[in-house]
Structure 1
Amino acid sequence: MSDEERQDSLADQAAAWVPPWERPTARQNTVPTPADTAPADPERTPVEAASAEPERTPVEAAPTEPGRTPVEAVPGDPGTAAGERGAAGVPRRQPAGRRRATVAPEPAPELDDAELRGALEAILLVVDEPVSELVLAQVLEQLPERIGPVLDDIAAGYTAAGHGFELRRAAGGWRLYTRPEYAAHVERFVLDGQSARLTQAALETLAVIAYKQPVTRGRVSAIRGVNCDGVLRTLVSRGLVEECGAEPDSGAFLYRTTTMFLEKLGLDSVADLPPLAPFLPDDVEELADATR
């Protein structure tokens, strides 16, 4: 090769030489992505552009329906495929506007005086123990204030008409009873010649408990002067006496009369028992001193 040809070859190489900072990199030789082809902001560097983009949460990135915010479109909303339950199967709390309104039960119609009177008489014919005014009001779904005056009117009507039965208040409630003047006829029909009376010892024990209640068995025996264990068991078995706790000092059982006792005697409470003073002898204090 001549000197002229060598100089032309060097000149061509010098003209074709590209500085390293202008040579294409490996990324420029790959297929351009949409992010690479997007026009860059001349005033922002690539690092600034990447850091300036706000982070998007999965809820914001989820597709939403028109007119609904991303929060309303999360799974578990009634409008989505998850229905009334969320993705975890937990029922969602209904919004205030979507809660079901509870329907209050309709009040029972108010009975007039004639209907109320008939309903009370029908119930009193089938009860086996005195029933209170509150229970009657609840059964008939009427105001308790109306029950008492109607019962008083029914009782007065039975007395004025001279029926063989009467309506009386006993043991805190109301019940129909036969009149005392017809007791002999009723007794013959019910007992049919059989005596079901209490013995004298049972009556004395029952009287002591009625006036001294609550009282222990030992106190009753001391008042009567004899052992009353057997008689007391009889009164308990017949439902006239019941236990009502224990005495704090000795731990002995206390006894009192029952509701059946009041019902059998036709009393409303033990306060209606007659006073003992008229039945006591004049020398009761002397007798008490003699027994000491």
Structure 2
Amino acid sequence: MADTHLAGAIEAILMVVDEPVAAADLATALDVPTEQVIDTLHALRDEYANPDRPRGFELREVDERWRIYSSRLYADAVGAFVVDGQSARLSQAALETLAVVAYRQPVTRGQVSQVRGVNVDSVMKTLAARGLVTEVGEVAGALQYGTTTEFLERMGLGSLDELPELAPYLPDLADIDGEGR
């Protein structure tokens, strides 16, 4: 497949996907080597990021998957058009709960409640309904939660490794469970 045709095909697919897509999945769909797709994705990302010609969109890799997003440069304009009045903002309680989950995952609702000092059942349901947290396992009969790819996308992160340092200020889960005493 010619480079310009491959780039166009990748762009077309990325314009219609609902979630980020792996380079290997693109390669399979387009019947080309994965490495060629990765090279094309990097070239497209760099082309879109050209500061001499700012665009309203950018190509980002999130958790080793690719998707076209609106440019961070125009977040205010997008927010004014799409977000204002159409989606409620997260409450302070939801933001605090989400932070505990993000930094301490996998974590149970009970552990989050102990960190926050309040019951978080309804807040966790809200975060799950918004696709920001999900069940990731079970320990001693209690469901464990972690953040989702949607969380990474909304935070503009490629992975959890990009979270700012905050974890040292949170108590260890062993201390919360009473095991550290």
Q: Distance in 2 between matches of 1:236 and 1:122?
A: 31
2:40 corresponds in structure 1 to 150
Runs of at least 4 residues off by over 4 Å: none
Output aligned runs, 1:1-292, within 5 Å.
111-160=1-50, 161-247=53-139, 250-276=140-166
Letter in 2 for 1:251: G
Q: Distance in 1 between matches of 2:125 and 2:83?
A: 24
Q: Is the 8 A contact 1:171 1:263 kept in 2?
A: no
Task: Tell me the TM-score normalised to structure 1 length.
Answer: 0.55
Which protein is richer in helix relative to its size?
Answer: 2
Post-superposition offset of 1:181? 2.2
Q: Is the 8 A contact 1:210 1:257 kept in 2?
A: yes
Letter in 2 for 1:246: E
RCO higher in 1 or 2 (8 Å CA, sep ≥ 6)? 2
**Comparing 135-144 with 173-182, which one deviates more in the overlay?**
173-182
Which consecutive unaligned segments of at least 5 residues does structure 1 have? 1-110, 285-292
Q: Distance in 2 between matches of 1:194 and 1:213?
A: 30
Q: Distance in 1 between matches of 2:131 and 2:55?
A: 30
Provide closer, same or farther for how the CA distance between residues 140 and 195 of structure 1 changes in structure 2, counting only shifts above 3 A: closer
Q: Distance in 2 between matches of 1:186 and 1:223?
A: 35
Q: Distance in 2 between matches of 1:159 and 1:261?
A: 23
Provide closer, same or farther for how the CA distance between residues 171 and 264 of structure 1 changes in structure 2, counting only shifts above 3 A: farther
Q: Distance in 2 between matches of 1:276 and 1:163?
A: 33
Q: Distance in 2 between matches of 1:277 and 1:212?
A: 8
Residues matched between the structures, number? 170
Give the structure with higher Rg (CA): 1
Q: Distance in 2 between matches of 1:117 and 1:261?
A: 28
Alpha carbon RMSD of aligned pairs, Å? Answer: 2.1
Post-superposition offset of 1:191? 2.8
Q: Distance in 2 between matches of 1:171 and 1:128?
A: 15
Post-superposition offset of 1:195? 4.8
Task: Tell me the TM-score normalised to structure 2 length.
Answer: 0.86
Q: Is the 8 A contact 1:130 1:263 kept in 2?
A: no
Which consecutive unaligned segments of at least 5 residues does structure 2 have? 172-181
Q: Is the 8 A contact 2:132 2:151 kept in 1?
A: yes
Q: Deviations over 1:79-112 (max 9, x none)?
A: xxxxxxxxxxxxxxxxxxxxxxxxxxxxxxxx01
Q: Distance in 2 between matches of 1:155 and 1:256?
A: 29
Letter in 1 for 2:129: S
SS of 2:20's partner is coil
